[in-house]
Structure 1
Amino acid sequence: MNMGSLSRDVAIVGVGFSPFSRRGLDDPRKLAYLSCTGALADAGLLADDIDGMYHYRFEDDIPTHDVARMLGMSDLAVWGDLSPSTGPSGLVSATEAIMAVASGAAETVLALRCMTRSTGYAGAVSTDSAPVRGAEQYLAPYGWAGVLMGIGMRKRRRLAELGGSEEDYGHVVLNARKWAALNPQAVLREQITMDDYMNGRMIADPLRVFDCDYPVNGSVAVIVTTAERARDLQQTPVLVDAIAYSNGGNPDTRWIFGDDFLYGGAKLCSDRLWSRSQFTAADVDTAQLYDGFTYLTIAWAEALGLCGDGEFGDWIDSGKTIGPGGKMPMNTSGGHIAEGRVHGLQFLAEAVVQLRGQAGERQVPGAKVAAVTNAGGPQNVAMVVNVA
């Protein structure tokens, strides 16, 4: 393993989930409890075995200390409540946990993402008449109303500069539904056609409703510890080969400015990732790439080098490459688009389940190496994980 300056080998040893639902259980305490106790049981650990915890959370989601008290944990050596302004989205709870273990600051750390529809920043249109301040006062006259408009413009820019067709984005959606049909936890398991995608309601032209993730109530937890300790636990250790961040070099949290309107910081992040990894893009058996919007999934696939710039549409071969039985199975849980949006950490959990060989009907045969990414624009994080 090549973790750069990180001094101890790290493994993921437990994953846990709450149910995912559109209108079901929405109490964040219960959701967090179910995922965390599930991860502990999966690893064969007790709450007192955990000496660190990180939660990437919005303002109204359950704080780390509340989760620790609820689980009956003792004093924590490291902890953190991470937010959109202090981390590159949901996967960062796991990468912070990894760095804490690798540095020796903690021995066994739980990473959490608990999310409900009510706190999920669903991007709804607002009728608020309060004055607009800051940079937004210069954007609002042009129709700017948040990240949805920014993604719509980036999709338009990509189509104009790199070509391809809107059907390329549609295949990301259809692929998500195919995998979700094999995942009992997924919320959107029914299949749709390309005509359904193309006739989907326009959100921010050319961004369609099916290009966007599907907010749900849910929680995911993973546990990391040293690779040495992992060998004595009950699951096959999934080793952390490399991690990388990037803010794009010229970050802007509104997702509208920046130096690269096609890839954001995904290329810088990917280059950093592969420079630290013992693997290359050619070694990846399954890719779990952020799909908060289909545009970002395509950008990550190209940034990682799974295909060339602007080649995604040809590379996926009408979805055959990334679907069940394909050469590069992608987002095998259904992702945020079909399994439901629990904001990043679930991609790592799915990679772990796949590399252990525990994914049931959706299992990728012989999977040994997985690439995992989250977010985009000014918030980029990526990982390579593997089994021995």
Structure 2
Amino acid sequence: MSAGRATAIVGVGYSPIYREKGIDSRPLASQAAKDAIADAGLTATEIDGIFEYPGLPNEISITMQRMLGIKNLASFGDYASSGPSGMAAALGAHMAVASGACDVALVYRSISREWGQQSGQVHFPPAEGPSQYQLPYGVAGAVIPVMGMKKQRRFAELGGSEEDYGHISVNARKWSALNERAALRDPITMDDYLSSRFVAEPLRLLDCDYPITGACAIIITTAERAAGLKQKPVLIDSTSLGTGSRPDWTFTDDFIFGGTREASDLLWKRSSVTPADVDVAQLYDGFTHIAISWVEALGLCGIGEFGDWVDGGKTIGPGGSMPMNTTGGQLAEGRMHGLSFVAEAVLQLRGQAGARQVPDANVSVVANAHGPQCGAMVLTT
């Protein structure tokens, strides 16, 4: 169990999701925050901590404080590009509440379609310092080439087939068809996956998440306070972070797992449950190979055994023995960048996931990011 005061997630909120460019995401972040506060049965005046992972420079915790009319914050954090993307803020808020730095923390992630996209960039800076080794491989065009190399490394070291990755993409659409909020709801087949173009061979278009504009928010407070609030509390059983050795995206010694194995080992060491107790998994699928790495790192199957474990996709899809990414994930709901996985886990454990509800869900594992900035969380009822 995590040290300090026991904590729980008591509120969830979303904004609408948009595909159009040029949308101001600040009102969307405000809407998600207000919906999460209302979902918890609280008022904005009761929030004394705000933690976020910003999509734009002006979207910081004090911006949200002003928009909500909160007089003072006892604790706050802006995580920028460090940590396991949107989930970094949730982990920071949990630690703040557990330590007593604040009592009721709002966590949000707002993101625009344009965020992190350099695909249209033509002119790059001079190749000096580390960039002289990275630019030839296209790293200035985001991490797509690096992710292609990581997928290639998995093939070389652990084997497997293209279909292993395709099962994640195909099942994302099976789940998103049940999620009215999802950006992509039309089904795809394995042939669709295998015929999708390479963006950095062997990485295919349908291996990659789908950029959107939107926001997600959750509320974390003490388990003691949560017991008297509106919703059934979802307890934060354990959390962890991991970097792995030689932490870097391109110059590292573990291209397949990054820090996922270290984060997973620490997560279960701190937890009151085991991988065998997990009812539903929410594992980062910004790229399909990352989700496979988390499945194996978390011990849901053995290292290199994903292809057999996924059983033609049946294991992770609706009705499967380990339902995974039940919103459609980043691949189909849209790139909400991690915090949406936490929110979905909460809805599943509260029994409020509608058509995508996993029966008798009491334990969920959530994991986010890859490389040198991994994070995970176990939630229980």
TM-score when normalising by structure 2: 0.97
- Name 2:192's counterpart in structure 1: 196
Displacement of 1:144 in angstroms is 4.2
Structure 1 contact 152–206 (Cα < 8 Å) conserved: yes
How do residues 1-388 of structure 1 correspond to structure 2 at under 5 angstroms?
2-3=1-2, 6-23=3-20, 26-60=23-57, 62-85=59-82, 87-118=83-114, 120-145=115-140, 146-252=142-248, 255-387=249-381
Unmatched 5+ residue regions in structure 2? none
Displacement of 1:227 in angstroms is 0.2
Structure 1 contact 61–115 (Cα < 8 Å) conserved: no
* Cα separation, 2, equivalents of 1:230 and 1:51: 15
* Cα separation, 1, equivalents of 2:238 and 2:136: 43
Aligned residues: 380
Identical columns (%): 56
* Cα separation, 1, equivalents of 2:283 and 2:220: 21
Name the SS of the counterpart of 2:121 in structure 1: coil
Displacement of 1:226 in angstroms is 0.3
* Cα separation, 2, equivalents of 1:123 and 1:180: 27
Amino acid paired to 1:164 = G
Structure 1 contact 61–114 (Cα < 8 Å) conserved: no
Name the SS of the counterpart of 2:369 in structure 1: strand
Amino acid paired to 2:269 = S
* Cα separation, 2, equivalents of 1:211 and 1:61: 31
Name the SS of the counterpart of 1:330 in structure 2: coil
Structure 1 contact 242–384 (Cα < 8 Å) conserved: yes
Name the SS of the counterpart of 1:318 in structure 2: helix
Displacement of 1:64 in angstroms is 1.2
Structure 2 contact 55–109 (Cα < 8 Å) conserved: no
* Cα separation, 2, equivalents of 1:12 and 1:314: 35
Amino acid paired to 1:141 = P
Query: Relative to structure 1, is the Cα distance of residues 197 and 29 closer, same or farther in structure 2, using a 3 angstrom cutoff?
Result: same
Displacement of 1:70 in angstroms is 0.6
* Cα separation, 1, equivalents of 2:279 and 2:209: 24
* Cα separation, 2, equivalents of 1:308 and 1:187: 33
Displacement of 1:342 in angstroms is 1.0
Q: RMSD over aligned Cα, in angstroms?
A: 1.3
Amino acid paired to 2:149 = M
* Cα separation, 2, equivalents of 1:48 and 1:132: 50
Structure 2 contact 29–216 (Cα < 8 Å) conserved: yes
- Residue range with higher mean Cα deviation, 50-59 or 230-239: 50-59
Structure 1 contact 288–348 (Cα < 8 Å) conserved: yes
Name the SS of the counterpart of 1:385 in structure 2: strand
Structure 2 contact 47–70 (Cα < 8 Å) conserved: yes
Amino acid paired to 2:378 = V
- Residue range with higher mean Cα deviation, 234-243 or 128-137: 128-137
* Cα separation, 1, equivalents of 2:147 and 2:130: 18
* Cα separation, 1, equivalents of 2:31 and 2:262: 36
* Cα separation, 2, equivalents of 1:138 and 1:83: 25
* Cα separation, 2, equivalents of 1:362 and 1:180: 9
Structure 1 contact 115–342 (Cα < 8 Å) conserved: yes
* Cα separation, 1, equivalents of 2:356 and 2:373: 29
Name the SS of the counterpart of 2:129 in structure 1: coil
Structure 1 contact 25–31 (Cα < 8 Å) conserved: no
Name the SS of the counterpart of 1:90 in structure 2: helix
Query: Relative to structure 1, is the Cα distance of residues 203 and 71 closer, same or farther in structure 2, using a 3 angstrom cutoff?
Result: same
* Cα separation, 2, equivalents of 1:144 and 1:343: 20
* Cα separation, 2, equivalents of 1:184 and 1:144: 35
Name the SS of the counterpart of 1:332 in structure 2: coil
Query: Relative to structure 1, is the Cα distance of residues 129 and 319 closer, same or farther in structure 2, using a 3 angstrom cutoff?
Result: closer
Query: Relative to structure 1, is the Cα distance of residues 29 and 139 closer, same or farther in structure 2, using a 3 angstrom cutoff?
Result: closer
* Cα separation, 2, equivalents of 1:24 and 1:183: 23
Query: Relative to structure 1, is the Cα distance of residues 64 and 319 closer, same or farther in structure 2, using a 3 angstrom cutoff?
Result: same
